[in-house]
């Protein structure tokens, strides 16, 4: 559950943290609109994720981590949509990733309390939430920033080459690098999409290992 959360929620938080730069790279001048959008969908995901997971466990007696696997696949679809550069990518991605990321924080506490009880719930829950910033730190620094800087340097080099001198001038350390276009984050989103699929597979492993627990808790219902 910890690794699944690290991969999926870490991917979602990475997108949220870099959303301002993503929108600027696509040519939008006001990134606050999209930050507000993903915040709204994040909230709705927390509310909807709770109702969705309750339907799964109470009506069908399926393990609650099934809901986590579903929202992780939804996040993967949203990130993949951006990666392939389809029309309206920023809108589709913010909706799906916002919903999926928010749903984690409605599903996870309930699943943890059902599987491990309430005796040490405070410590357990805080341990699980550590996966969120840990995943964001790794993915933002290693993946997102590295790929963005790579393409920013390539574009800066091309701008220098197309100057009057037709020479590629070396970049100084204090030069401001900026990347423009879908390419700045398409590879990053493709990688994060794959990580969300891995997270969904891990959630399904948890489903397989806990199915008897949920059958005992909620009974077998058709």
Contact present, 136 and 14 (Cβ < 8 Å): yes
220 three-class SS: coil
pLDDT tens, 32-80?
889 899 999 999 999 999 899 999 998 888 899 999 999 999 999 999 9
Give the pLDDT band (50/70/90) at residue 23. very high
**pLDDT tens profile 176-222:** 678 999 999 999 999 999 999 999 999 999 999 998 888 888 875 54
**CB under 8 Å to 187, separation ≥6 — which residues?**
83, 147
pTM of the model: 0.89
Whole-angstrom distance, CA of residue 73 vs CA of residue 96: 10
Assigned CATH for 2-133+180-218: 1.20.1250.20
| Helix, strand, coil fractions of the chain, as percent rounded to 5 | 80, 0, 20
The more confident residue out of 170 and 118 is: 118
Domain boundaries, the chain: 2-133+180-218
- State what percent of residues in the chain have pLDDT above 70: 92
What is the pLDDT at residue 51?
92
Q: List C-alpha distances in Å: 212 to 36, 50, 61, 218.
A: 41, 21, 10, 10
Between CA 29 and CA 163 the distance in angstroms is: 26
End-to-end, the C-alpha distance of the chain in Å comes to 27
154, pLDDT greater than 60 = yes
Angle at 62 between CA 38 and CA 213, to 5 degrees: 115
d(CA 20, CA 12): 14
Give 122-133 pLDDT, tens digit per residue: 888 899 989 988
CA distance to 2, 9, 48, 104, 171, per residue, from 71 (Å): 16, 10, 11, 8, 43
Q: What average pLDDT does the chain have? A: 88
């Amino acid at each position: 559950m910890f690794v699944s959360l690290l991969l999926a929620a870490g991917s979602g938080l990475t997108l949220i943290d870099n959303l301002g730069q993503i929108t600027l790279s696509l040519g939008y001048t006001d990134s606050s609109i999209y930050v507000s959008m993903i915040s709204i969908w994040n909230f709705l995901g927390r509310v909807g994720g709770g109702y969705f997971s309750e339907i799964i466990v109470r009506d069908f007696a399926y393990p609650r981590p099934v809901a986590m696997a579903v929202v992780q696949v939804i996040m993967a679809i949203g990130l993949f949509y951006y990666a392939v550069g389809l029309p309206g990518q920023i809108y589709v991605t913010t909706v799906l990733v916002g919903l999926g990321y928010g749903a984690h924080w409605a599903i996870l506490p309930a699943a943890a309390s059902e599987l491990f009880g309430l005796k040490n719930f405070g410590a357990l829950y805080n341990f699980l939430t550590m996966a969120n910033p840990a995943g964001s730190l790794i993915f933002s620094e290693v993946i997102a920033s590295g790929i963005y800087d790579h393409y920013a340097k390539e574009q800066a080099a091309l701008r220098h080459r197309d100057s009057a001198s037709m020479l590629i001038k070396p970049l100084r350390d204090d030069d401001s690098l900026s990347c423009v276009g879908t390419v700045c984050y398409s590879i990053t989103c493709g990688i994060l999409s794959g990580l969300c699929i891995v997270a969904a597979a891990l959630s399904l492993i948890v489903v397989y290992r806990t199915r008897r627990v949920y059958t005992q808790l909620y009974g077998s219902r058709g």
